[in-house]
């Protein structure tokens, strides 16, 4: 498996807690009529890796709710390089690359056997105060604490 690189603002490359990988096998029900994975299912694969990432940080959905914040995805980008196929084993990686004013998570999907990169993308999430629905323009202290970053 190729190394995970996390360049850019809010560089998380040095902290392995900010990266996660999951292995998946493509099920039949994810295919489209062309016998490749329907494009919308890639988002679900990203979500599996992002969930593993936030579980590593002890800041998964229940902890977010308890902290008084929710983190909706406000932007999604996917670059499809090669199709995914039935019973293919894949490795989906997620890592945090920005955290100051928003949360940016990058993703890559690689073939388990060859290591070839098949897909890449990112999501952007913002903190929203759960009680009021008000969007925050900087990440709240609880996220900085979970990341081990202090202002």
CATH of the domain at 136: 3.10.129.10
CA dist 90 and 22 (Å) reads 8
Q: Beta partners for 117? A: 110
Which two tokens mark 67? Answer: 């902290």
* 11 domain residue, yes or no: no
Q: What pTM, to 2 d.p., does this model score?
A: 0.87
* 1 domain residue, yes or no: no
Q: Beta partners for 80? A: 119
From its phi and psi, is residue 146 left (phi > 0), alpha (psi between -120 and 50) or beta?
alpha
| Number of separate domains in the chain | 1
* 58 domain residue, yes or no: yes
* 12 domain residue, yes or no: no
* 78 domain residue, yes or no: yes
**Banded model confidence at residue 17, pLDDT cuts 50, 70, 90:** confident
* 59 domain residue, yes or no: yes
CA dist 12 and 19 (Å) reads 8
pLDDT at 52 over 90: yes
The tokens 């983190």 sit on which residue? 71
* 6 domain residue, yes or no: no
Q: Which residue segment(s) compose the domain that 53 sits in?
A: 19-147
In the chain, count H helices and then E strands: 3, 7
pLDDT at 9 over 50: no
pLDDT for 37: 97
Position with higher pLDDT, 44 vs 14? 44
Nearest-5° Cα angle at 97, 130 to 93: 95
């Amino acid at each position: 498996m190729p190394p995970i690189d996390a360049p850019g603002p809010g560089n998380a490359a040095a902290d392995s807690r900010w990266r996660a990988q999951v292995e998946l096998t493509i099920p039949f029900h994810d295919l489209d009529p062309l016998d490749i994975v329907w494009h919308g299912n890639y988002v679900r694969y990203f979500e599996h890796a992002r969930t593993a990432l936030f579980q590593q940080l002890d800041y998964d959905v229940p902890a977010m709710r308890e902290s008084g914040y929710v983190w909706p995805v406000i932007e999604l980008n996917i670059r499809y390089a090669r199709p995914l196929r039935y019973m293919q084993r894949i490795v989906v990686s997620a890592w945090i690359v920005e955290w100051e004013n928003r949360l940016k998570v990058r993703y890559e999907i690689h073939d388990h056997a060859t290591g070839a990169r098949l897909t890449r993308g990112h999501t952007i999430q913002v903190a929203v105060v759960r009680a009021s629905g008000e969007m925050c323009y900087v990440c709240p202290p609880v996220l900085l604490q979970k990341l081990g970053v202090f202002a």
